[in-house]
């Protein structure tokens, strides 16, 4: 396994659970045992959780899975023909099967490498950002109103910090939600005291003594600040695979069974594959739940590939999960199952009371997704309905409030 995080660890666990008793090596460029990222922008940044609590359960006892851990070691190259992995430390590693789960890295703003300017992807990032929050800055600027930016803004407000959130698009979360839900996110942040600036880009930053002092905006305005968080998306970690022969195109391109090349599977944020459940155009999914499911699936796929047992080799259905995401902002739990579209209808509660369920239909009127705000029970139900291929009418009826 390359990538010692959620998908890689889940793959290792699945290999052992499914009876693989051969040698397993986990190569990870971070120095830490696998930890959970979602709390980094929530409980950890809030100061409520410490590092020990972040460790993924399957790595609580590092010896439990009988792995050789190569932490603090990056994979630097792959020779598919020779089945060999080049490493930043020590000799190359041969393999019979390879699981690539190298995830993604935070996108940065070029020319803004200043003290006080942060991204948030790793534990080390979170430790550095939390230390700056602990210093009680006068003002925090969050650039980008995606899920990470929005969660950081919420946590900063909960810590009593003044926050400005800047987004170049006209609504927050425009890439991941429908427009009116994005507007509801903007309202939520405004109601909690965030200065939300939409439709304006960042033109640059100023500094003194190497530390950021101002963020300049394209509308000519400037914001004075000593802490900036850049949350403008991620780039899949595939640079080390250049020239390997794998198809690299916004991630590692895989077939519908997560196979990227003979004896090589990919999983998690780095994998791009066609999910036939939703039309089959290859896409990447940057979600916690997907990393778990795909990590497990990829391990089984690899075992099937390596197996001489014909049943095992052919029995595996394509990987067709219902995507599932949650985000915690203030006292709101926002859960998305499936995929959002602009054809949406609220079927339970109301947006005004910020407790609702909305369903999404595709161009053909098929039920393809649901969004739940502070409606966790219906969120689970919606996911189940999507998995069953329920019709729009069925989803509407089942997710609506029970008659009094």
Ligand X SMILES: Cc1cc2nc3c(=O)[nH]c(=O)nc-3n(C[C@H](O)[C@H](O)[C@H](O)COP(=O)(O)OP(=O)(O)OC[C@H]3O[C@@H](n4cnc5c(N)ncnc54)[C@H](O)[C@@H]3O)c2cc1C
Which of 71, 74, 80, 387 contacts ligand X by CB under 6 A? 74
CA-closest candidate to residue 9, choices 44, 36, 49, 41: 36
Token pair of 159 as six digits: 């810590």
The answer to whether residues 289 and 274 touch, using CB atoms and an 8 Å cutoff, is no
CA–CA–CA angle 86, 88, 241 (5° rounding): 50
DSSP tag of 121: S
Q: Which is nearer to ligand X, 72 or 318 (CB)?
A: 72
How far is the CA of 265 from the CAs of 130, 137, 255, 272, in angstroms?
Answer: 36, 45, 9, 11
Buried/exposed code over 325-338 (b: 16+ C-beta within 10 A; e: otherwise): bbbbbbebebbbbb
**Which DSSP letter does residue 58 get?**
G
DSSP for 271-308 reads: EEEE-GGGT--EE----HHHHHHHHHHHHHHHHHHH--
In whole angstroms, give the CA distance from residue 372 to residue 239. 37
Among 5-13, 208-216, 220-228, 377-385, the segment contacting ligand X (CB under 6 A): 5-13
- Partners of 371 in beta bridges: 336, 358
Q: What is the largest CA-CA distance in the chain?
A: 69
Q: Which is nearer to ligand X, 11 or 141 (CB)?
A: 11
- Specify the residue, 100 or 390, whose C-beta has the smaller distance to ligand X: 100
- How distant is the alpha carbon of residue 308 from its chain centre? 35
The answer for residues whose C-beta is within 8 angstroms of residue 55's C-beta and 6 or more apart is 33, 34, 35, 36
Q: Applying CB under 6 A, does 5 fall inside the site for ligand X?
A: yes
Yes or no: say if 214 and 206 are a contact pair by the CB < 8 Å rule: yes
Rule CB under 6 A: is residue 40 a binding residue for ligand X? yes
Do 145 and 177 meet the contact criterion of CB atoms below 8 Å apart? no
**Residues 333-362 within binding reach of ligand X (CB under 6 A):** none
Per-position x/- string for 124-153, each x denoting binding to ligand X as judged by CB under 6 A, each - no binding: ------------------------x-----
Closest separation in Å from C-beta 224 to ligand X: 26
Binding mask 82-111 for ligand X (x = CB under 6 A): -------------------xxxx-------
Looking at 181, 225, 275, 287, which residue binds ligand X (CB under 6 A)?
287
Rule CB under 6 A: choose which of 33, 133, 278, 288 binds ligand X.
288
Query: Phi and psi of 12, rounded to 5°?
Result: -60, -45
Closest contact distance (angstroms) between CB of 238 and ligand X is 9
Contact stretch for ligand X (CB under 6 A) within 3-11, 218-226, 242-250, 378-386 = 3-11
Closer residue to ligand X, CB minimum distance, 28 or 347:
28
Residue 58 makes contact with ligand X by CB under 6 A = no
Q: Say how many residues touch ligand X, by CB under 6 A.
A: 36
Task: Please pick, from the candidates 326, 351, 366, 396, the single residue that binds ligand X as defined by CB under 6 A.
Answer: 326
In the bound complex, what is the minimum distance in angstroms from residue 327's beta carbon to ligand X?
A: 5
Sign (positive/negative) of CA torsion 280, 285, 290, 295? positive
Which candidate, 195, 200, 198, places its Cα nearest to that of 224?
195
Nearer to ligand X among residue 288 and residue 356 (C-beta): 288
Residues forming beta bridges with residue 230, ordered by sequence position:
143
Structure tokens at 165: 């959130």
Nearer residue to ligand X within complex by CB, 336 or 344:
336
Contact residue for ligand X among 13, 37, 116, 166 (CB under 6 A) = 37
Q: Choose between 80 and 312: whose C-beta lies nearer to ligand X.
A: 80
CB of 337 to ligand X, least distance (A): 11
Q: Which of residues 360-389 bind ligand X (CB under 6 A)?
A: none
What is the x/- site pattern for ligand X, positions 235-274, by CB under 6 A?
Answer: --x--x---------------------------xx-----
| Helix or strand (DSSP H, E) at 153 | helix 147-158
Contact residue for ligand X among 69, 325, 367, 373 (CB under 6 A): 325
**Binding-site member from 93, 99, 120, 379 for ligand X (CB under 6 A):** 120
Summarize as ranges the residues that interact with ligand X (CB under 6 A). 2-8, 27-30, 37-38, 40-41, 74-75, 101-104, 120-121, 148, 237, 240, 268-269, 286-289, 291, 325-327
């Amino acid at each position: 396994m390359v990538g010692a995080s959620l998908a890689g660890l889940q793959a290792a666990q699945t290999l052992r659970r499914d009876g693989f008793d051969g040698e397993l090596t986990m190569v990870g460029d971070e120095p830490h045992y696998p930890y959970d990222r979602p709390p980094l922008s929530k409980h950890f940044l809030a100061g409520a959780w410490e590092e020990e609590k972040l460790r993924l359960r399957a790595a609580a006892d590092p010896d439990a899975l009988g792995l050789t851990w190569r932490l603090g070691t990056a994979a630097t190259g792959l020779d598919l023909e020779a089945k060999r992995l080049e490493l930043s430390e020590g000799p190359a590693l041969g393999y019979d099967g390879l699981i690539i789960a190298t995830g993604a890295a935070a996108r940065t703003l070029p020319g803004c490498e200043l003290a006080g300017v942060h991204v948030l992807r790793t534990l080390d990032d979170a430790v550095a950002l939390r230390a700056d929050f602990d210093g009680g800055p006068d003002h925090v600027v969050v650039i980008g109103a995606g899920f990470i930016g929005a969660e950081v803004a919420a946590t900063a407000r909960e810590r009593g910090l003044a926050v400005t959130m800047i987004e170049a698009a006209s609504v927050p979360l425009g890439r991941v939600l429908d427009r009116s839900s994005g507007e509801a996110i903007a309202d939520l942040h405004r109601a909690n005291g965030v200065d939300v600036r939409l439709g304006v880009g960042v033109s640059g930053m100023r500094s003194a003594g190497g530390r950021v002092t101002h963020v300049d905006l394209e509308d000519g305005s400037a914001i004075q600040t000593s802490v900036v968080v850049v949350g403008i998306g991620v780039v899949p970690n595939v640079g080390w695979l250049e020239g390997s022969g794998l198809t690299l195109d916004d991630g590692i391109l895989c077939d519908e069974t997560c196979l990227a090349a003979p004896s090589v599977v990919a999983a998690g944020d780095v994998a791009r594959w066609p999910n036939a459940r939703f039309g089959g155009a290859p896409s990447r999914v940057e979600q916690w739940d997907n990393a778990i499911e795909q990590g497990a699936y990829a391990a089984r796929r690899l075992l099937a590939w390596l197996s001489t047992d014909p049943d095992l080799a052919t029995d595996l259905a394509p990987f067709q999960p219902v995507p599932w995401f949650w985000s915690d902002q203030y006292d709101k739990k926002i859960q998305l199952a499936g995929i959002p579209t602009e054809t949406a209808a609220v079927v339970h509660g109301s947006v005004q009371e910020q407790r609702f369920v909305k369903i999404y239909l595709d161009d053909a009127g098929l039920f393809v997704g649901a969004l739940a705000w502070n409606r966790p029970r219906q969120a689970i139900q919606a996911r189940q309905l999507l998995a069953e291929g329920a019709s729009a009418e069925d989803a509407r009826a089942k997710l609506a409030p029970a008659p009094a």
